[in-house]
Structure 1
Amino acid sequence: MRITGYRTTTTVQEWGRPVGDANGVFADGVVSVPLVMVDTDEGITGIGLGPHVEIDAVFAAIEGEDPRGVTALYDRMLRQTFKAGHAGAVFGTIGALDTALWDIKAQAAGEPLWRLLGGRDRRVPAYASGLDIGLTDDELVSAYQVYAQHGLRAAKIKGGLDIECDRRRLTLVRDVLTEAGHGSRPGLMLDVNEAWTRKQAVRHVYELERTLDLAWIEEPVRRWDAEGLAVVGRGIRASVATGENLTGLEQFRPLLAAGAVDIVQTAVVWGVSHFLRVSALAHAHDLPVSPIGSTPVALLHAATSVPNHLASELRSTFTSRTARSSSETRWVSAFTIDEHAIDAFTRRPDARAAEGPNIRPEHAGRRLLAATGGFYQT
């Protein structure tokens, strides 16, 4: 079997409501979903989620190769970007191609990826995560009632801009999950997406912990600030979770050496091989791992095979005009891509939008006071 080519496309996920975090909100709830499809001479096509940046240069490392040699091909792609570096969006391109190769390998073997990777049980623990900072209190309750109806008993909300707003919203979600669990204590997490300084983080979480029990605080300070993350961890009871925006083991190493992280995370967009390597590194430090993002479900497959998986983020049912979900979690993506529907579909996110969770606000980490309603104004 040989790799013969690739195709790229971009679809959208329509949430039907605002989605975002402390950095901004997509008011229309329309989020880009870039996809890569890798073709082979035996008619098997693999699907991966991720950007297409420098894909011609990266694909040159694997063209004509046997796609089943995924681990070696992953390293070839890393070496291909040696001079310019593989961080950022280029790492996402590598991850998308890597996931597509794992998809091909599983299809060729005739078994789902979780089984191919050595998993014993196809099920993994999950928690709810609604990208919910743009919701009203009533909308927040309604959203997490749906998660609770599906059996989820832990939830992560977005926040970080106002202590009392976060306290109120965490309490609302706690009450929803407690009622659904017939009084059992739910897991609560807060994700602030790097919005604080070290002192702001300790003060904010300390105040919340006066009345709430938080399982973890996610990305309290900048992703690379090993010393700062360690300072936060020593000042609060909750665990510190981070890692979803780190690209490569070399970026995790300083954090682990400094004892700066309690929950090691990695995003689905960086690919299966990256997750497996980060999981092994975390396991060597007796730390749990938690995948971020579940569209598609490649890392859920991989999570079944690592001994230190804690829980995976479950955001929402994937809804788009471009992909159809199968009734079972097969292979990697559990989706078939309708390229004709993508071509015919004209709705796209506004790439020129001045605000959104993908753009760091000018004054992030340098705010003194918060405005009511959860957002800052000048």
Structure 2
Amino acid sequence: MRITGYRTLTTIQEWGRPIGDANGVLDDGVTVLPVVLVDTDEGITGVGLGSHIGVETMFAAIEGEDPRSVTALYDRMLRHAFKAGHNGALFGTIGALDTALWDIKAQAADEPLWRLLGGRDRRVPAYASGLDIGLSDDDLAKAHGAYAERGLRAAKLKGGIDVERDRTRLTLVREVLTEAGGGMRPGLMLDANETWSRKQAVRHVRELERTLDLAWVEEPVRRWDAEGLAVVQRGVRAAVATGENLTGLEQFRPLLQAGAIDIVQTSAVGGITHFLRVAALAHAHDLPVSPIGNIPVGLLHAATAVPNHLVSELQDLRPPVGLKVDHAIEDGSFVLGDSPGLGITVFKGAIAELGVLPGPAKPEGPGIRPERAGLRW
């Protein structure tokens, strides 16, 4: 089997409500999702979700190769990005191609990827993550009520700007999940999206901890600040979670050496091989791993095969436009299906009708860091 070509598509996620975090809000609730399709000479096509910036360069590393040599091809792509580096969107492109190759490999074996990777249990525990900082209290309760109907009993809220507002929102979601769970104490997490300085983070979280029990606080300071993350980790009761924006295994090393992380995260756009390697590194430090992403299908399959998976992020309850996924959400878990590969079906016609092209982050949205982030009192 040989890799013969690739195609790129761009679809959207329609949330139907405002979404965002401490860095900004998208009022229209529409986000862009690039898709990469990798073709073979045996008629098997793999699907990768992530960036396709620089895909021409990265595809040159794998063209004509046997797609089943996935991990070797992943390293080959990293070598092709050697001089310029594999940071940012290019790392997402490598991850998308890598995910497509794993999809091909599992399809060729006529196995769902979770089984090919050695997973035993198709159920992957999930937590709710609504990107919900722009919602009113009523809409926040409604959104997490919908998650609760699917059995979710843990939720991550966006926050970090106003401590009393965070307390009100976290308490509200706690009540929604507690009622749905028949009195069972829910898990609560707060994601600050790198908006604090070190001391701001400690003060903010410790104030919340006077009345709330937080499972973790996510990205309290800048993603690369190993010393700062360690300061926060030692200063609060909550665990510190980070890693979704790190682009390469080597970027985790200083954070782990500093004892700065309690929950090791990886983003779905980083790809499956990256996740498996990060999970092994975290396991060597006796730490759990938790996938992040809007539609983390590849990492859900991989999560079944690692011993230290904790819980996976569930954002929108609906798939992006033009995509169908072979998994259900029930009893608080993703339940993976038996379709060979990732179980993603792409309806190219539906996506083509959108006429969407990737563009720069909107100035009012969460993709651009505010000028005063980390400088508030």
Pairwise same-fold verdict (TM > 0.5)? yes
Task: Say which SS state the counterpart of residue 190 (structure 2) adopts.
Answer: strand
CA distance in 2, matches of 1:20, 1:256: 29
| Residues 294 and 193 of structure 1, relative CA distance in 2, 3 Å threshold | same
Q: How does 1:11-50 map to 2 (within 5 A)?
A: 11-50=11-50
| Residues 294 and 30 of structure 1, relative CA distance in 2, 3 Å threshold | closer
CA distance in 1, matches of 2:81, 2:212: 46
Question: Which sits farther off after the overlay, 83-92 or 219-228?
Answer: 83-92
2:137 alignment counterpart: 137
| Residues 25 and 294 of structure 1, relative CA distance in 2, 3 Å threshold | closer
**1:351, distance to aligned residue in structure 2 (A):** 4.2
Q: Is the 8 A contact 2:74 2:98 kept in 1?
A: yes
Q: TM-score, normalised by structure 1?
A: 0.95
CA distance in 1, matches of 2:74, 2:215: 34
Structure 2: 5+ residue runs without aligned partners? 328-335
Q: Is the 8 A contact 2:220 2:229 kept in 1?
A: yes
Q: Is the 8 A contact 2:361 2:367 kept in 1?
A: no
Length, aligned pairs only: 368
| Residues 134 and 333 of structure 1, relative CA distance in 2, 3 Å threshold | farther
Cα deviation per residue 1:116-155 (whole Å; 9 max; x = unaligned)?
0000101111111100001000000000001111001111
1:271 alignment counterpart: 271
Cα deviation per residue 1:326-378 (whole Å; 9 max; x = unaligned)?
4663345432112222222236687473211111111111112xxxxxxxxxx
1:188 alignment counterpart: 188
2:364 alignment counterpart: 355
CA distance in 2, matches of 1:77, 1:352: 26
CA distance in 2, matches of 1:283, 1:320: 32
2:172 alignment counterpart: 172
Q: How does 1:1-378 map to 2 (within 5 A)?
A: 1-326=1-326, 329=337, 330-346=339-355, 351=360, 353-368=362-377
CA distance in 1, matches of 2:353, 2:340: 27
CA distance in 2, matches of 1:253, 1:320: 34
Q: Is the 8 A contact 2:127 2:311 kept in 1?
A: yes
CA distance in 2, matches of 1:238, 1:57: 42
Q: TM-score, normalised by structure 2?
A: 0.95
Q: Is the 8 A contact 1:295 1:318 kept in 2?
A: no
Q: Is the 8 A contact 1:201 1:232 kept in 2?
A: yes
| Residues 347 and 250 of structure 1, relative CA distance in 2, 3 Å threshold | closer
Matched residue type, 1:88: G
Q: Is the 8 A contact 2:20 2:131 kept in 1?
A: yes
**1:318, distance to aligned residue in structure 2 (A):** 3.2
% identity of equivalent residues? 72
User: RMSD of aligned C-alpha atoms?
Assistant: 1.3
Task: Say which SS state the counterpart of residue 265 (structure 2) adopts.
Answer: strand
Cα deviation per residue 1:42-84 (whole Å; 9 max; x = unaligned)?
0000000111111111111100000001010000000111111
Task: Say which SS state the counterpart of residue 83 (structure 2) adopts.
Answer: coil
